[in-house]
Structure 1
Amino acid sequence: MIYGPTVLFALGEGAVIPLIPVIAAELGADVPVAALIASALVVGQLCGNLPAGWAVARIGERLTMAFAGVIAVGGVVAMAVAPVLAVFAASVFLIGFCAAAFGLARHSFMTTRMPLAYRARSLSLLGGTFRLGMFVGPFVAAALLAIFGDEHAAIWFFGACLVASVLLVLLGPDPEAEFADAPSGADPAAAEDTGEAVTGSIPTARGAGRVGVFATMWRHRAVLSRLGVAAASLSAVRSARQVVLPLWGVSIGLDASTIALVVGISGAIDFALFYASGQVMDRFGRLWAALPAMVLMGGGFIALAFTHDLSSNAMWFAMFAAVLGVGNGLSSGILLTLGADVAPPADPAPFLGSWRTLTDAGGALAPLLVSAVAAATSLAVATGVVGLIGFAGAVAFVRYVPRFVPRPRE
């Protein structure tokens, strides 16, 4: 009940994402417009974080997930029958908006219920469910295309996943109620001072003392403007990896199958390491995952930038794609975990809405930065700039994680 609905949502979404540009092109979009429509998913998620924080704080995680799932079903139906590009683009945006609500609801639930001793492992598993969907979903889409010969089959598969997810949320046991009834292992007042997670009921979570989303942003502006910006830099480097690797393969003359193989291997390495990241964070501390991840990705991008014109550029491309996969895998769950660590224990949802807005903004801006720098100079320079962002983020993590992240009580 904790991971199942998220796996279903991510699996369906992962099956649809690769086909969004294809369907947009069938509706008459050229390449730039198709790319713009594909980005509507990220924009929708970015816009949905703050309203999702408001909803979770008022109606709870379970109802927020249920409403988001039902609305997303409507978006899937509209996507499948869209007669024109405008309707299709609006449907993609709506699904991204609902994905934000789905993700934030589960993030908020685990922030308040998971003990600090294994918070990072539990949240790395949550991040792993999204990676699972993005990794397996395209293979499901390929199988459906082979069977039905129609891209819309993947859309209807997404709809079936959403229906199953909503039914699981509404008809299965309610984790919120089960955890609320469990004996509390920590004093909530003490947890508020130390950052220790509250594992029992949280009487103020939906009480009269709750503050709004914007008041929460102002109250926690120090951590959001420092550690939050560092987290946004990690999100930017991650997002840039998904853009730079395919473009780099094209720019050095590799064929599509080779590029897909290299990117797929990088993604497999990334997926394989998601639980190891949580183990490292819980046993040694958050910096032991965040810092190596940023240094590896930053160094990988900068080193890759110098290999474009070498005779062995294909070998270096494959090697540094693997390095970036290792770095990204080591960072699995770190944004979720840091957000949970610094969120107000009693009512985390409004804060997490702001936190996720910052991190999603970093991810959304990175492809635009790569495109702009590459257009003005070259792809190699743009790749090096991403690497510098990675190193700057590493420095910020070193400075602000010890300052803001609470430590477990002895």
Structure 2
Amino acid sequence: MSNSTRALLLRMAPSIYGPTILFTLGQSAVMPLIPVIAVGMGAGIGLSGFIASTLVVGQLAGNLPAGWIVARAGERIAMLIATGVAFFGAIGIVLAPNPGTLGVAVFVIGFAAATFGLARHSFMTTRVPVAFRARALSLIGGSHRLGRFGGPFLAAGILALTASPVAPVWAFVVCLALTALLVTCAPDPEQALPVQRPVEEPEPRTAGIRAAVRHNRAPLARIGGSAAILSGLRTTKDVLLPLWAVSIGMDPAGVALVVGIAGTVDFALFYTSGQVMDRFGRLWAALPATIGMAVAFLGLSLTHDSPDALTWLLICAVVIGIGNGLSSGIVLTLGADLAPPGDPSAFLAAWRTLVDFGGATAPLAISAIAAASLPLAAAAAGTLAVLGAAGFARWVPRYVPRAHRKP
């Protein structure tokens, strides 16, 4: 890492990476307990699962309004607004008198998370030099992974002390307060880092989401479609690997071990992904990642009844973890590369909506197939990965040429 790269990343740590870790840490401490809280209010298993899923629905619904907020208020103010809205959502969880109100509160948190995420994405797109954009964005992915990894452990420690499923929500409130403090008191990144103006004449400012989609519909549909598939593969592995482990007779500790191994490998590679993208091009991260996932899922589909099923599951989990780690930051980076330089927020709102839609629908489809046959579900996930790899191989060289090189 060069001195200039290190200096830039350190300047962004208090206002970008620190808030990302705190926001995700608190959210990840609360979300696994939402079904528990819902059941305690009298909701059934099905309704509890639906209430937990309103987080994703809130993110999908919030992406497009988030583009409007960021374009008008700026990235820093948008992050503060999102933190405040999430604070009210967290308080809503604590005070919710019934499952319906709880679902609304979780939806609000998802809505706020969309604005928070888009504000970070837009800031990095306009202010980080292209030469090390991927490394900067891969650290966003790593910060998110760190928060997701630590959140459940934070919740477990609080539960061990209090035995109250609502107690971790207060940890989320504290994390939000610290997030707001960092965003407010840290040096304003919008003042510290000037907007990176492209050498070529910038595109005119768009008139909103519809215009951004209309002006960029080809790359949005083609590369965005492949990115949505990758997002779907990431969420699919969170569903499929535990189901597979249970189906071959593993106990809960074994299931946790498999998921933990995949997560550890994933986290270990997040910065490597950014280095690869900045040095060799975006395709060298996207293609190996999706091909690796395709091989792992397709291979897994053939091993369910094997006497070595456990060994094969561990091997495939590691390969999937490698693929997921190598693709850390690729969705953010491709979105930043494709966004109009003069006005990225509207395009990024549409981009994130498409990607989140893929992440939300793919596991639902795979789960429906798994109800009939787990090997068939794994094969379907592998086929989806092949389609994603083909899309990246075809369209990334066309729309994101190798102009993005290391400094």
What TM-score do you get using the length of structure 2 for normalisation?
0.93
Match of 1:334 among 324, 327, 330: 330
The AA in structure 1 aligned to 2:239 is V
Say if 2:386 is the partner of 1:372. Answer: no
Please say which of residues 94-103 and 163-172 is displaced more in the overlay.
163-172
**2:100 aligns to what?**
86
> Does the aligned pair in 2 maintain the 1:16–1:154 contact within 8 Å?
yes
**1:8 aligns to what?**
22
Say if 2:36 is the partner of 1:22. Answer: yes
**1:74 aligns to what?**
88
2:138 and 2:166 map into 1 onto residues whose CA distance is 32
Q: CA deviation at 1:409?
A: 7.4
**2:130 aligns to what?**
116
1:155 and 1:255 map into 2 onto residues whose CA distance is 29
Mapping of residues 6-405 of structure 1, within 5 Å: 6-180=20-194, 188-190=198-200, 192=202, 209-375=205-371, 377-405=372-400
| Deviations, residues 68-101 of structure 1 (Å, cap 9, x unaligned) | 1111100000101211100111111110110010
> Does the aligned pair in 1 maintain the 2:131–2:404 contact within 8 Å?
no
Q: CA deviation at 1:171?
A: 2.8
Q: CA deviation at 1:263?
A: 0.4
1:213 and 1:73 map into 2 onto residues whose CA distance is 27
2:37 and 2:330 map into 1 onto residues whose CA distance is 34
**1:199 aligns to what?**
none
Q: CA deviation at 1:16?
A: 1.2
> Does the aligned pair in 1 maintain the 2:206–2:343 contact within 8 Å?
yes
> Does the aligned pair in 1 maintain the 2:270–2:325 contact within 8 Å?
yes
Q: CA deviation at 1:32?
A: 2.0
Identical columns (%): 54
The AA in structure 1 aligned to 2:289 is A
The AA in structure 1 aligned to 2:31 is I
Q: CA deviation at 1:191?
A: 6.7
> Does the aligned pair in 1 maintain the 2:281–2:404 contact within 8 Å?
no
| Deviations, residues 217-247 of structure 1 (Å, cap 9, x unaligned) | 1111111111110111101111100010111
Q: CA deviation at 1:170?
A: 2.1
Q: CA deviation at 1:130?
A: 0.7
> Does the aligned pair in 2 maintain the 1:342–1:406 contact within 8 Å?
no
> Does the aligned pair in 1 maintain the 2:273–2:285 contact within 8 Å?
yes
2:314 and 2:42 map into 1 onto residues whose CA distance is 35
1:382 and 1:73 map into 2 onto residues whose CA distance is 38
- Which secondary structure state, in structure 2, belongs to the residue aligned with residue 49 of structure 1? helix
The AA in structure 1 aligned to 2:302 is F
The AA in structure 1 aligned to 2:377 is A
- Which secondary structure state, in structure 2, belongs to the residue aligned with residue 2 of structure 1? helix
1:391 and 1:25 map into 2 onto residues whose CA distance is 39
Q: CA deviation at 1:400?
A: 0.4
Given the superposition, is the C-alpha separation of residues 187 and 340 from structure 1 closer, same or farther in structure 2, using an over 3 Å criterion? Answer: closer
> Does the aligned pair in 2 maintain the 1:237–1:363 contact within 8 Å?
yes
| Deviations, residues 306-349 of structure 1 (Å, cap 9, x unaligned) | 11111221121122111111110111000000000000011100
1:89 and 1:252 map into 2 onto residues whose CA distance is 34
2:146 and 2:40 map into 1 onto residues whose CA distance is 28
> Does the aligned pair in 2 maintain the 1:239–1:363 contact within 8 Å?
yes
Q: CA deviation at 1:31?
A: 2.1
Please say which of residues 40-49 and 17-26 is displaced more in the overlay.
17-26
> Does the aligned pair in 2 maintain the 1:116–1:408 contact within 8 Å?
no
- Which secondary structure state, in structure 2, belongs to the residue aligned with residue 311 of structure 1? coil
2:50 and 2:197 map into 1 onto residues whose CA distance is 49
RMSD, matched Cα? 1.5
The AA in structure 2 aligned to 1:23 is I
- Which secondary structure state, in structure 2, belongs to the residue aligned with residue 310 of structure 1? coil
What TM-score do you get using the length of structure 1 for normalisation?
0.92
> Does the aligned pair in 2 maintain the 1:120–1:337 contact within 8 Å?
yes
The AA in structure 1 aligned to 2:20 is T
Aligned length: 391
Q: CA deviation at 1:47?
A: 1.0
Q: CA deviation at 1:188?
A: 3.4
> Does the aligned pair in 1 maintain the 2:67–2:118 contact within 8 Å?
yes
Q: CA deviation at 1:281?
A: 0.5
| Deviations, residues 174-223 of structure 1 (Å, cap 9, x unaligned) | 1001213xxx7x75352748xxxxxxxxxx8xxxx442111111111111
